[in-house]
Amino acid sequence: MMTTFLKSREAILALAILALLAVIAFRFPGFVAPANLANVLTDTSPLIILALGQMAVILTKCIDLSVAANLALCGMIAAILNGIGVPLPLILIAVVALGAGLGAVNGLLVWKLNIPSIVVTLGTMTIYRGIIFVLTDGKWINAHQMSEGFKAFPRAVILGLPVMAWIAVGVVLGFALFVNRTAPGRALFAVGGNPHAAVYTGISVGRTQFMAFVLSGALAGLTGYLWVARYAVAYVDIAGGFELDVVAACVIGGIAIAGGAGSVAGAVMGALFLGIVKNALPVVGISPFWQMAISGSAILIAIAFNARGQGPKGRIILKQAEHRA
Amino acid sequence: MSILKKALTTAALATVLMATGAHAETKRIALVVKALGIGFFEAAAKGAEEAAKELGDVEIIYTGPTDTTAEGQIEVINSLIAQKVDAIAVSANDTDALVPTLKKAMDRGITVISWDSGVAPDGRLMHLNPSSSALIGNTIVKLAADHLPDGGDVAILSATTTSTNQNVWIEEAKKVLPNYPGINIVATVYGDDLADKSYRETQGLLQTYPDLKAIIAPTSVGIVAAAQAVTDAGKIGSVNVTGLGLPSEMAGHVKSGASKSFAIWNPIDLGYAATMIAYNLSNGTAKAEAGAEIPMGRMGTVKLDDNKEGAMADPFTYDASNIDQFSSIF
């Protein structure tokens, strides 16, 4: 039992994160101070939340490239609603609903029209950013145009952590419960693992994929508000290219790109790994010209691990079953 | 037929010219902008009106297409040619597309200059840049130094490692550093013009250099993100964020004190200077040649380089005293 745990991806990733922290601490001891680690967790919260949504989508053999554009559009809507005096609770409900709606558009196209998800979301990604431009004429909404309460909510500190980090913690717990303990959550694995078998057990592949997109969209909508409130600025290009970080976090976390395999702990640690790298690079004194190469190498190494770990998986299970029998 | 038509047109033109002859002393200068309804250009038009008032015998025609297209500007310029204006000062939507139309205008004796966004040398007598790399480089260091009488450590937060503009400005800034004793540039980091990366890089700077006194961000995304990061770190007052930004985007951070001052070109001055130059060229009081110095009223003179381009002035400094006035403009 212990040895299988130590061999698991999650354990390897946890060790990799600890090793990474040790190396960083060696060069810049202040980085592992509790206050700074709390900062890193807060900074990584959007990535964690989006990685979980992306995980749901990837489990069903799809991919959602529109998350960052969805985030930007919902964030802009949040800022606009705040500008016309809508109270914060209503804004939160509105962005989650809007995000879910935008996710539903992706889901419907994948489900009803059978278009490959990478094509659908590549298209909606551009459309969502385009809508922001149409809404705002490319103008920014700036710090002084947002109300104090709007900006203060994610920063408010409860029990030593900002609300933003607590929201991420809440989403992680809720998502773990959903994926591991509910029928729709298990259906994600069934659909990705073996679509034909899933159909025979009465699970609709399309409907499950649709649900995954709605979930991913809703989480992107929520993150949209958090993002805009944290950086106190909303414009067309916010979170540009962030969808790639989200997919990278999933890949590092061992979510199989072919669907059907992965864990919540893996996705969270994948996001944390990337978050730590991003936060550490500015302080460890590495030339900015090397930073991109280092981030990229970390992802490649993770994928290499992934490929090795997933080689002859199907057969091993059969052999184990044989042994037991 | 065509001879008859030509004769008729000439006669008609002659009549028009004679009719307008009485007002011949009033110079009509057209300020053609990228698109109408943009705060930056509305402000430039204000500056042009100011110049017209000062000169007395100038009428400003402020015009432009409704969207930022070269086709729209060509139409506008064609109608200005038909109206026989004396001068056209254009901020172009395309470097090359306007050249044939502007050539036609110059053939008709209209003085054509470009400002803000230039056209190719063939299509204008001269181009007025808001500022020059050397002036910008000097200004961004001066902005930091002005609030650091005893000197101190400053860091630069740039856009990407490959942004040409920013790299040139930073290079120029480093050249003038000896003129500002005590100012010490400790690091140059890159926020890639992304709010989140710029924010993180700023956090990194604050951690790595606890004695940091100022952050210079010569990019509008970076300066806003840096100001927010300094605010969130509770370092308002000990770390001053400055650089290049837009007044509408920086208003909140100037009021909170995160940024004591920052700079960008002043559109009012730009419109004023473009009008003055157009007037002087059209009058023949100055000639647009390489090396020539053309007077621009209260803005001094502009010296043209071999490309017949000139830089107006240092970027204009915005602080708590004037931010409200300009944040509503652009």
Summarised one tens digit per residue, pLDDT across range B240-276 is 999 998 898 899 999 999 999 999 888 899 999 999 9
Task: Tell me, yes or no, whether B141 and B246 share the same domain.
Answer: yes
Q: What is the mean pLDDT of residues A96-125?
A: 95
Q: What is the pLDDT of residues B117-126, one digit of tens each?
A: 888 999 999 9
Quick one: pLDDT at residue A6? Answer: 54
Nearest to A283 among B190, B207, B249 (CB): B207
Task: State whether residue B154 is helix, strand or coil.
Answer: strand
**Predicted local confidence at residue A241, as pLDDT:** 86
Could you tell me if B163 and B53 lie in one domain?
no
Measured between alpha carbons, how far is B44 from B89 in angstroms, rounded to an integer? 11
Burial A213-252 (b: 16+ CB within 10 A, else e): bbbbbbbbbbbbbbbbbbbbbbbbbbbbebbebbbbbbbb
Domain count, chain A: 1
Which range of residues forms the domain containing residue B141? 133-264
Q: Is residue B149 part of a domain?
A: yes
> Which residue of B lies nearest to A237 if distances are taken between CA atoms?
B194
Burial of B173 (0-12, 13-18, 19+ CB in 10 A): buried
Q: Give me the long-range contacts of A302-308 (CB less than 8 A, separation at least 24).
A: A302/A251, A302/A252, A302/A270, A302/A273, A303/A251, A303/A252, A305/A9, A305/A12, A306/A9, A306/A251, A306/A254, A306/A256
Q: Is A133 on the interface with B (CB under 8 A)?
A: no
Reported pTM = 0.79
B189 contacts in chain A (CB < 8 Å): 282, 288
Residues in B touching A238 (Cβ below 8 Å): 195
Record: contact A233-B251, CB cut-off 8 A: no
Which residues does chain B have within 8 Å of residue A144's beta carbon, measured at their own beta carbons?
A: 251-253, 255, 327
pLDDT band at A173 (very low <50, low <70, confident <90, very high): very high
DSSP structural state of residue B320 = T
Domain contains B42: yes
Q: What is the pLDDT of residue A306?
A: 64
State whether B96 and B141 are in the same domain.
no
* B34 and B64 co-located in one domain: yes
Locus of tokens 């006035």: B325
- B239 has pLDDT over 50: yes
pLDDT of residue B308: 87
- At residue A259 the predicted structure's pLDDT band, cuts being 50, 70 and 90, is confident
> Do B153 and B103 share a structural domain?
no
| Of the partner residues B195, B208, B251, the one whose CB lies closest to the CB of residue A233 | B195
Q: What is the pLDDT of residue A324?
A: 62
B-contacting residues in A 14-43 (Cβ below 8 Å): 28, 30-31, 36, 39, 43
User: Which domain range does residue A202 map to?
Assistant: 34-240+255-262
B188 and B275 housed in the same domain: no
In a shared domain, residues B121 and B210: no
**pLDDT score of B287:** 84
Looking at the domain assignment, is residue B12 inside a domain? no
Nearest to B109 by CA among B9, B17, B221: B17
User: How many domains is chain B partitioned into structurally?
Assistant: 2
For residue B320, being part of any structural domain is answered with no
Same domain, residue pair B237 and B276:
no
pLDDT value of position A2: 52
Interface test with B, best of A144, A145, A157, A294 (most B CBs within 10 A): A144
Which is more confidently placed, A308 or A128? A128
Give the mean pLDDT of chain A: 88
Q: Do B201 and A282 touch (CB under 8 A)?
A: yes
Given a cut of 70, whether residue A7 has pLDDT beyond it is no
Minimum Cα–Cα distance from A241: chain B residue: B194
Average pLDDT of chain B, as a whole number: 87
**What secondary structure letter does DSSP report for B121?**
G
The mean pLDDT value for B274-290 works out to: 89
Average pLDDT over residues B45-57: 92
Chain B contact present for A295, CB below 8 A = no
Whether B196 and A145 lie within 8 Å, measured CB to CB: no
Q: Are residues B292 and B254 part of one domain?
A: no
A120 part of a folded domain: yes
Asked if A143 lies within 8 A of B252 by C-beta distance, the reply is yes
Q: Are residues B272 and B227 in the same domain?
A: no
Closest by CA position to B316, among listed B308, B326, B306, B324: B326
Task: Tell me: pLDDT of B82 over 70.
Answer: yes
Average the pLDDT over each of A265-269, A293-297, B221-225 and give the range with the smallest value: A293-297
**Interchain contact, B255 vs A232, CB within 8 Å:** no
Nearest chain A Cα to B187, which residue?
A285
User: Does any domain span residue B179?
Assistant: yes
Beta-carbon-side half-sphere exposure of residue B170 (alpha carbons within 13 Å): 25
* Inter-chain CB proximity B196 and A231 less than 8 Å: yes
Residues B164 and B114 in one domain: no
Write the pLDDT tens digit of every residue in B131-170: 888 889 999 999 999 998 888 999 999 988 877 788 889 9
Select from B161, B194, B200 the Cβ nearest to the Cβ of A289.
Answer: B161
Q: Is residue B318 part of a domain?
A: no
**pLDDT above 90 for B225:** yes
What pLDDT, on a 0 to 100 scale, did the predictor assign at position A320?
Answer: 58
Q: Per this entry, what is the length of chain B?
A: 330
How many cross-chain Cβ pairs, A to B, lie less than 8 Å apart? Answer: 72
Does B54 or B290 have the greater pLDDT score? Answer: B54
Same domain flag for B126 and B137: no
Q: For B162, which residue in chain A has the nearest alpha carbon?
A: A289
Answer yes or no: are the C-beta atoms of B209 and B153 closer than 8 Å: yes
Q: Is residue B13 part of a domain?
A: no
**pLDDT 10s digits, A10-36:** 888 888 889 889 989 998 888 999 988
**Which ipTM value was assigned to this complex?**
0.78
| CA distance, residue B324 to nearest chain A CA (Å) | 12
Looking up residue B229, the CATH number of its domain turns out to be: 3.40.50.2300
Q: How confident is the model at residue A284 (pLDDT cuts 50, 70, 90)?
A: confident
Q: Which of the pair, B289 or B10, is modelled with greater confidence? A: B289
pLDDT band at B215 (very low <50, low <70, confident <90, very high): very high
Give the N- to C-terminal CA distance of chain A in Å, as an integer: 19
The residue that leads in pLDDT, B199 or A139, is B199
Q: Would residue B249 count as lying in a domain?
A: yes
Q: Is A163 on the interface with B (CB under 8 A)?
A: no
Place of tokens 């000439």: B10
